[in-house]
Amino acid sequence: MIEGMRMDLWKCRYQSFEELYLYCYRVAGTVGLMSVPIMGIAPDSPASTRGIYDAALFLGIGNQLANILRDVGEDAQRGRVYLPQDELAQFGLSDADVMSRKVTDGWRAFMKQQIARARFYFDQAEIGASHLDKDSRWPIWSSLMLYSKILDAIEENDYDNLTKRAYVGRAKKLLTLPLAYMRSLAVPSLAL
């Protein structure tokens, strides 16, 4: 985790998703991994310990990707682009497009791909969330569902995360918490 924080001191561009994944792993995936022993694993869980740790890692990666996508415009103002350069290029985009803060059809297509990737990690995290100790599930489900709503907010803003900050309003947060609680009550059944 400390190495991830150090990366912010010298690195402000990521050539590929593999490089960005390493950053996400260090700054957020490690938090998920460190949380499992604190949260505990449900004694009746049929899942493997490895599967639960993988799900926790995926939640950290998904959360960090949501943060990155939410903050693209703010990061650009600081001269930072936490987006895979090679994938920007696949959509005919570059740092100059990010810095210009103009939403184009190419930008929207690029963002759809990035959001799909973040959702993939959230889907993988969901598989393990109900395998944690029952007293720990609600905060994990809340995190998973609220960070997913950041992605919804980007879509609702017509993929304008260059000039608008996607956020989840208080009312949506409050409505999400009971839903997360209900999800946390699920008995773990699927083995990981």
CATH number for position 22:
1.10.600.10
The DSSP call for residue 188 is P
In tens, the pLDDT along 15-68 reads: 999 999 999 999 999 999 999 999 999 988 888 999 999 999 999 999 999 999
Determine the 3-state secondary structure of 84 from DSSP: strand
> Does residue 190 form part of some domain?
no
Domain count for the chain: 1
> Does residue 173 form part of some domain?
yes
> Does residue 53 form part of some domain?
yes
In tens, the pLDDT along 126-171 reads: 988 989 999 999 999 999 999 999 999 999 999 999 999 999 999 9
Q: Rounded to whole angstroms, how far apart are CA atoms 24 and 1?
A: 10
Q: Which structural domain, as residue segments, surrounds residue 28? A: 2-184
Least confident of 4-13, 49-58, 106-115, 183-192: 183-192
User: In Å, how far are 95, 137, 180 from 145, measured between CA atoms?
Assistant: 31, 12, 7
In tens, the pLDDT along 64-117 reads: 999 999 999 999 999 999 999 999 999 999 999 999 999 999 999 999 999 999
CA-based nearest residue to 18, from 75, 87, 78, 80 = 87
